Structure 1
């Protein structure tokens, strides 16, 4: 029988994965950080600082990975990348979890509701949907956590807030609700779900859900200067920008090239990937960071 307190985490050396490992330790879990052999000493020390235990295995070897997963109650994937990672490497992890008789698996989905998008519309969503089919065909109980966009990106990698001109950009509809959740909140929720053997196939969370018009109001209060929503174009024009960006700078091996960010914004502003029937209240001890709190913190930096 697996030890319900043992959780194996793949991708603990990454930004989100490191946060998940730390959150698991804080909940009393014994965390195995699955790492490749020959890991740099400083990276290993950084992972261990979360309280996780390093366990080496070749990420391309199913049997080796199964050995380090054996006895765990859940395998959590926080892998991030393109096909070679999200499909190939994550499939090895899935097969290893099944071979080791691990009862539960949390794939690296952490996105808006990609189940609603048609194939070919969003590369990262396509990869998640393709892997979802492999998970559903495997003899393991799986839970995907959908969280909208990472709130940490708002005002940074997601450039809809234009501070120089005090505008908040929008496409298609200034009142379209956008879902955001901080990485720390996603990590805390994932940790709680990993230790919960009653989770359903999907859990949907959003730390805050606001429109571009509401973000402009929030920014006005936070910055002490009036911000206004600014129409940036239609969904069609944003789609044209995506096609041009892919031609000029395809960056096929980049996990999040500029055009991928545009695809994400287009799908958010379309309303297609909006999260409904949120599961925020499933773990009452958790709290959520709002857009106002996040932007207030940014203004203080």
Structure 2
């Protein structure tokens, strides 16, 4: 019998890919969206084969009605507290009311379980929702993918193509960073959604690569020798982020505030995924670092 998976956040970049991967695996896929959703995005999902339901996402009964006979709810929502906490709670409550057995929350980030609270605003929002879902009767599986590999394209201090530089904090030129592509994350999420035995926490990474390894890959691909350099100590970086946040109160209402970008960088050099679940599903072929870098270098 085909599994039915409901996806929240299906019109987003990751959510759309998760829907695609689920359909490729033979699942029946439903998506719940607001009535203000871009019609073009809805059309893309429907052409893919997704059953799109336009509902009032503030109404738990409406959510519950769409969750009847659903095997797993996948949340690919992105946002601040009103989304990651408030909206996800409503979707979870609707799923529980409909007796949905499993839920995948929007924990697509570095595994924050070993990090201190207060170091990353967006991680703290997910911690708050984690406490709520872990007290519920539903079985949850969080997928921690580290950092989306796309960040390597955007001239961050880790890889700055304009300056031809590769930066790191602390004494961590050899520290391996966790990167996962959107497509690999989506494929793994689809497998987890269809896997009733999936555990509570799953760490993944398409590739784990240190600043020195990035330097070597860039040289192999381009023939150019980038400048590898220490940006600051981790302690001074943490203090800088605190000041940056204090000086930017408007950033608290911005999903990609400058201080939040710094917090993500800090987390990447503070924890690693040491228990990868990459081998759990044989169907997934993980993207190698050099192959990904070749797509834009």
Q: Specify the SS of the correspondent of 1:34.
A: strand
Deviates more, 1:122-131 or 1:31-40: 31-40
Aligned partners of 2:87 and 2:133: how far apart in 1? 13
Question: Is the aligned partner of 1:15 residue 2:13?
Answer: yes
Structure 1 segments (4+ residues) deviating >6 Å? none
Contact map agreement 1:117 1:125 (CA 8 A) in 2? no
Deviations 1:176-231 (A, max 9, x none): 11111001100000001101111111111111001111111111111211123111
Q: Specify the SS of the correspondent of 1:252.
A: helix
Contact map agreement 2:2 2:26 (CA 8 A) in 1? no
What residue number does 2:134 align with?
136
Deviations 1:229-261 (A, max 9, x none): 111001122123312332443422222222111
What residue number does 2:159 align with?
161
**By how many angstroms is 1:157 displaced?**
6.3
Aligned partners of 1:47 and 1:158: how far apart in 2? 32
Contact map agreement 2:148 2:179 (CA 8 A) in 1? yes
**By how many angstroms is 1:286 displaced?**
0.4
**By how many angstroms is 1:4 displaced?**
5.1
Aligned counterparts, 1:56-205, within 5 A: 56-156=54-154, 158-172=156-170, 173-205=172-204
Aligned residue pair count: 295
**By how many angstroms is 1:154 displaced?**
1.3
Q: 1:184 to 1:253 in 2, by over 3 A?
A: same
What residue number does 1:290 align with?
288
TM-score using structure 2 length? 0.95
Aligned partners of 2:294 and 2:36: how far apart in 1? 41
Aligned partners of 1:221 and 1:230: how far apart in 2? 19
Deviations 1:112-152 (A, max 9, x none): 11111111111011111111111110111110001111111
Deviates more, 1:237-246 or 1:128-137: 237-246
Aligned partners of 1:108 and 1:184: how far apart in 2? 16
Contact map agreement 1:112 1:146 (CA 8 A) in 2? yes
Question: Is the aligned partner of 1:253 residue 2:244?
Answer: no
TM-score using structure 1 length? 0.94
Contact map agreement 2:2 2:28 (CA 8 A) in 1? no
Pairing partner for 1:52 from 46, 50, 53: 50
Aligned partners of 2:26 and 2:156: how far apart in 1? 34
Contact map agreement 2:168 2:230 (CA 8 A) in 1? yes
Aligned partners of 2:185 and 2:284: how far apart in 1? 10
Q: Specify the SS of the correspondent of 1:134.
A: helix
Aligned partners of 2:39 and 2:24: how far apart in 1? 24
Mark the runs of 5 or more structure 1 residues left unpaired by the alignment. Answer: none
Contact map agreement 1:217 1:227 (CA 8 A) in 2? no
**By how many angstroms is 1:38 displaced?**
4.3
Deviates more, 1:250-259 or 1:190-199: 250-259
Aligned partners of 2:205 and 2:223: how far apart in 1? 27
Q: 1:159 to 1:33 in 2, by over 3 A?
A: farther
